[in-house]
């Protein structure tokens, strides 16, 4: 499925969830109606997006958190799946947009790209619920029910790679705000934490 099509469907079920856009962020920020609740961060360290989402979910148990992750990120921080299952935040929805490759470095395959099953890894790590979809129609017919499940939920979807093959200094970042602005806008929107 195409990333943009998958995200358009997910967007219908966002309500006012906080989004952490990793893979597909370039599409997401164009369709989002609540940019102040999108933590569209740039130049952070690969492998940590899921644990960042976990931290946010624990700090804000009253908010629904949707993470748009990539399989390369997940492979780099695989142990985080066990920590997420351990802390079991009911408000965390973990989407892996699996394009089977490192798209921003030219499209080289990730380890065991064609055979690895992230839904089974999540299940083995202890996620109470995990799903995998290859076809957009299947994703579309299940997403409403998935978003009403208690978290943590993992949803792995196969997407078509959008390969970037330019030197990094020649790329235009898809993020439109600085990290400082993103965090400031977010914190203003969600207000102070209630312990």
**CB 185 to another protein: min, Å:** 12
SS3 158: strand
Which one, of 123, 48, 47, 52, lies nearest residue 82 by Cα? Answer: 123
**CB 68 to another protein: min, Å:** 15
Angular region, 106: left φ>0, alpha ψ -120 to 50, beta rest: left
Of 21, 22, 25, 77, the residue at the interface with another protein (CB under 8 A) is 77
Residue 179 binds another protein, judged by CB under 8 A? yes
Of 83-102, binders to another protein (CB under 8 A) are 83, 86-87
- Per-residue x/- mask for another protein, residues 36 to 75, rule CB under 8 A? ---x-x-xxxxxxx-xxxxxxxxxx---------------
**What contacts 64, CB < 8 A, 6 or more positions away?**
15, 16, 17, 18, 91, 93
The kind and range of the H/E element at 66 are strand 65-70
**CB 188 to another protein: min, Å:** 12
CB 54 within 8 A of CB 81: no
Of 9, 29, 82, 136, the residue at the interface with another protein (CB under 8 A) is 82
Residues that bind another protein (CB under 8 A): 39, 41, 43-49, 51-60, 77-80, 82-83, 86-87, 179-180, 183, 186-187, 190, 192-193, 195
């Amino acid at each position: 499925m195409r990333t943009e099509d998958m995200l358009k469907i997910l967007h219908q079920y966002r309500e006012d969830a906080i989004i952490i856009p990793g893979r597909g962020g370039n599409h997401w920020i164009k369709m989002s109606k609540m940019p102040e609740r999108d933590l569209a961060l740039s130049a952070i360290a690969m492998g940590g997006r899921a644990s960042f989402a976990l931290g946010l979910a624990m700090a804000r148990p009253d908010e629904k958190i949707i993470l748009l992750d990539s399989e390369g990120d997940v492979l780099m921080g695989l142990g985080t799946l066990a920590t997420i299952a351990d802390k079991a935040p009911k408000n965390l929805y973990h989407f892996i947009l699996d394009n089977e490759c490192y798209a921003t470095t030219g499209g080289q395959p990730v380890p065991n790209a064609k055979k690895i099953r992230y839904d089974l890894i999540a299940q083995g790590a202890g996620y109470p619920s995990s799903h995998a979809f290859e076809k957009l129609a299947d994703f579309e017919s299940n997403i409403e029910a998935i978003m009403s499940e208690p978290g943590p939920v993992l949803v792995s979807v196969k997407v078509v790679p959008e390969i970037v093959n330019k030197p990094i200094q020649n790329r235009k970042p898809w993020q439109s705000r600085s990290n400082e602005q993103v965090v400031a806008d977010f914190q203003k929107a969600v207000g102070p934490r209630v312990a």
